Amino acid sequence: MKEHLRDYITEQIPSSKEEEIEEILGIFKIKEFKKGDYFKKPFTTGNDIAFIVNGTVRSLFCTSFLL
């Protein structure tokens, strides 16, 4: 799956060096999510980024909360 990310990096930065690409790829971990799974749980702070290979993601942003 990291081949998709490698292809994307090479496409966006044609002059990228192999060492740089490997360093970037080393940051990412492959995770698979099923329908209904959360990338980030509601009302928590996220510290992750994602490179989506296949599927769709729904994102919601709340500006106020009712308690």
Q: Residue 12: what pLDDT?
A: 92
- The 10 Å CB-count burial string (b at 16+, else e) for 6-32 is beebeeeeeeeeeeebeebeeeeeeee
pLDDT at 22: 93
- Count up the domains in the chain and report the number: 1
The reported pLDDT for the residue numbered 65 is: 64
pLDDT at residue 7, rounded to an integer? 92
Q: How confident is the model at residue 1 (pLDDT cuts 50, 70, 90)?
A: confident
> CA angle, 29 as apex, 27 and 32 as ends, to 5°?
155
What tens digit of pLDDT does each residue of 21-51 get?
A: 999 899 888 888 898 898 888 888 888 888 8
Residue 15: give the domain boundaries: 1-67
Average per-residue pLDDT for the chain: 86
